[in-house]
Structures are given as C-alpha cells and as structure tokens.
Amino acid sequence: MASAPTTASRSPETSTRTPGSAPHDSRPVVDVTALTSRDDFLLELGQALGGQAAVRPVDSLEEALQSMAGGKRGQVLVIDGGDEGRPEQQPGCARGRLGFR
C-alpha cells in the first residue's frame, strides 16, 4: 500500500540542531520513491536521509514510475534488494524495465 511522502517535522522549541543535520525549516531537497515491503528498511532510509528528502514507499515498479513522473524536485528511486521473494524488486529486473542494459 502506497502512502503520501513524509518528512520529519521538528519544532525549534523542542529540538536542537546537531552538526550535519538538516536545518529546522528546510524543505525536502529530493523525492525518494522506495520500492519495498519492509518497514525496517524505511526506518533506516529515513534515518540516513535525515529529513533531506520526502520518502514515498511503493509496492511495484509501475507505481514507482508513476509516482516519479510528476515530481517537481529531483527524483531518486531506491529498490530494497533485501526482499528476495519479490522478483520486481531485483535490480536486474528494474534495470531492464527502465531501459538500462
């Protein structure tokens, strides 16, 4: 099930900025579409991005491409290779469908 992109919103009164973290009033720089079915993958991805991107989880490559087509910011596709039971999430399959050789 796909959901709306999310970013962490922080109140300047309740949090302090750490070195290397995003400014409190920053907007996402890019839209990340994540092809995954694992919540732990999304949590790790969100932590790694540190509020610099809006993350939209999707269930299929087709859904990912549709989501990315209308984006106004830079677009990044992240494919979780840890879910080996889903062939559409294998990098070779995605490469071919995206026109890469």
Q: Is 2 among the domain residues?
A: no
Check residue 47 and give its pLDDT: 93
Span 24-63, pLDDT tens digits: 557 888 999 999 989 999 999 999 998 889 999 999 989 9
Q: Is 21 among the domain residues?
A: no
Span 49-98, pLDDT tens digits: 988 899 999 999 899 999 898 888 899 999 888 766 665 555 566 666 66
Q: Is 40 among the domain residues?
A: yes
Q: Is 58 among the domain residues?
A: yes
**Residues ≥6 apart with Cβ < 8 Å to 30:** 52, 53, 54, 73, 74, 75, 76
Q: Is the pTM of the predicted complex or chain greater than 0.75?
A: no
For the chain, the domain total comes to 1
Check residue 9 and give its pLDDT: 40
**Structural domain for 66, as ranges:** 30-97
Separation CA 48–CA 94 (nearest Å): 23
Check residue 51 and give its pLDDT: 84
